[in-house]
Amino acid sequence: MTWMGQLSRLRDISLSKCAVCGAGEKGRIAEACPNIREVDLSQNLLSSWDEVTQIAGELALLEALNLSENKLQFPSDSLSLTGTFSTLKVLVLNQTGITWAEVLWCAPEWPVLQELYLASNGISISERPTDVLQTVKLLDLSSNPNINENQLFLIAYLPRLEQLILSNIGLSSLHFPDAEIGGKTSMFPALQYLVVNDNQISQWAFINELDKLQSLHALSCIRNPLTEGSKEAQNTRQLIIAKIAQLKSLNKCQIFPEERRGAELDYQKAFGNEWKKAGGHQDPDRNRPNEEFLAAHPRFQLLCDKYGTPEDGELKVQQPFMLKNQLLTLKIKYPSQLDQQVLEKRLPDSMTVQKVKGLFSRLLKVPVSDILLSYESLKMPGREIELQNDLKPLQFYSMENGDCLLVRW
């Protein structure tokens, strides 16, 4: 097959960092590469949207275009529709200098666009997209520090927006004024996945508001004061799960039904005394928690309806959100090293499986990736339980004093 024949079969092409500055001779791209669907033109020398239009005009099947880190001049007025981008579904404009007004001016040219990436452009959302961007399912606004909560309301009614990425924008608060405590907002009706990593979120009120989103199933919320400041990272995870009813994934880690049940029951016990002091009562006729408690814990009553109100005896138990680590005394066995004697070690029950592996990696001079952990419970002699999830603490597996931790490599 000739070189030109091979080009004609190409569907994806990357010309990143190739000093591309224009379309070249008219018709040559269409002749050489008629079947191209995806083009990466990031970090090149393109200087205007007109040049981009000329290139795209020769790619009749174009579905994905990456223009990141080209310092482009965009039209400052409405465009006449050319149909050039009529098949485009993915557009990446990170670090191109585009403004929100310019996005809206160009958007009529993107009638079927599904994913739009606008990171690191210094964008402020200045206007509601009324007749454009209606097909967008994913919008990335990361690293645009001028965006605030009020600006987000301007994109809150995009009908098909399923994924919103708001990492590193300085976000600290969020409030949906159209929904009362325990209610659902009409904003972001299709939003399923929200990313708010690397922000300034420090209040549980922010998490409470997320429960108002009617379609939210997945949340990523790492490297925020709320999640990083606490030594009890697992407790923070449990609290988020308990506060957002529909969440099925948190920080890319699936939430299984047993984890949700445990988190919600622990949440009830942890704040049960506070609920009683605020006017909560096991007798429905006398159950009148005050507004302050309901605002701080909008799901608490729903959990009481689901599991029953917490009993006084349960509330006297040491609470996982209030106490320092509880130490477990465990026997340590190395099943593959029969000559090694059984040791005893005290470990915090909030220590994650990953950290336990790290501890034995250092002790045994073995790579962490080679270590497998399981345990035998005194209550279930002869049965071995694997510690499969590295992110879970020992307490998740109901380990108790006297249980035997088995270390293999």
146: CATH = 3.80.10.10
SS3 396: helix
Is the same domain home to 333 and 203?
A: no
At residue 44, the pLDDT reads 95
Calculate the average pLDDT of the chain: 88
- Kindly state whether residues 63 and 209 are assigned to the same domain: yes
Q: Which of 201, 228, 254 is the last residue of a domain?
A: 254
Strands (E), 237-326: 249-250, 253-254
Among 239, 254, 269, residue at a domain's last position: 254
> Angle at which helices 300-307 and 257-277 pack, to 10 degrees?
110
Could you tell me the residue range of the domain that residue 402 belongs to? Answer: 327-408
Do 381 and 245 lie in one domain? The reply is: no
For helices 257-277 and 233-243, the axis angle rounded to 10 degrees is 90
Residue 10 is assigned to a structural domain of this protein: yes
Same structural domain for residues 22 and 143? yes
Tens digits of pLDDT across the chain (409 residues): 444 556 677 899 999 999 999 888 888 888 888 899 999 999 999 999 999 999 999 999 999 999 999 999 998 766 677 889 999 999 999 999 999 999 999 999 999 999 999 999 999 999 999 999 999 999 999 999 999 999 999 999 999 999 999 999 999 999 999 999 889 999 999 999 999 999 999 999 999 999 999 999 999 999 999 887 545 556 899 999 999 999 999 999 999 998 999 999 999 989 999 999 999 988 888 889 999 999 999 999 999 999 888 876 666 444 444 434 478 888 898 888 777 777 888 888 888 888 899 888 888 888 888 889 998 887 777 788 888 888 888 887 778 888 889 999 8
Assigned domain for 315 exists:
no
We report the CATH number of the domain holding residue 368 as 3.10.20.90
pLDDT, tens only, 218-259: 999 999 998 875 455 568 999 999 999 999 999 999 999 989
**What is the number of structural domains in the chain?**
2
- Which residue bears the tokens 């091979």? 6
Do 247 and 363 lie in a common domain? no
| E strand or H helix at 257 | helix 257-277
Q: How far apart are CA 244 and CA 31, in angstroms?
A: 54
Whether 287 is in a domain gets the answer no
Find the DSSP H helices in 70-186: 100-106, 149-152
Whether 217 and 336 map to the same domain: the answer is no
Domain contains 269:
no
Q: Reduced to 3 DSSP states, what percent helix, strand and coil does the chain have, rounded to the nearest 5?
A: 30, 15, 55
* Residue 314 resides in a domain: no
Is residue 280 in a domain?
no
Q: Which two tokens stand for residue 273?
A: 């005394």
Question: Of 203, 229, 254, which residue sits at a domain end?
Answer: 254
Tokens of 24: 């070249």
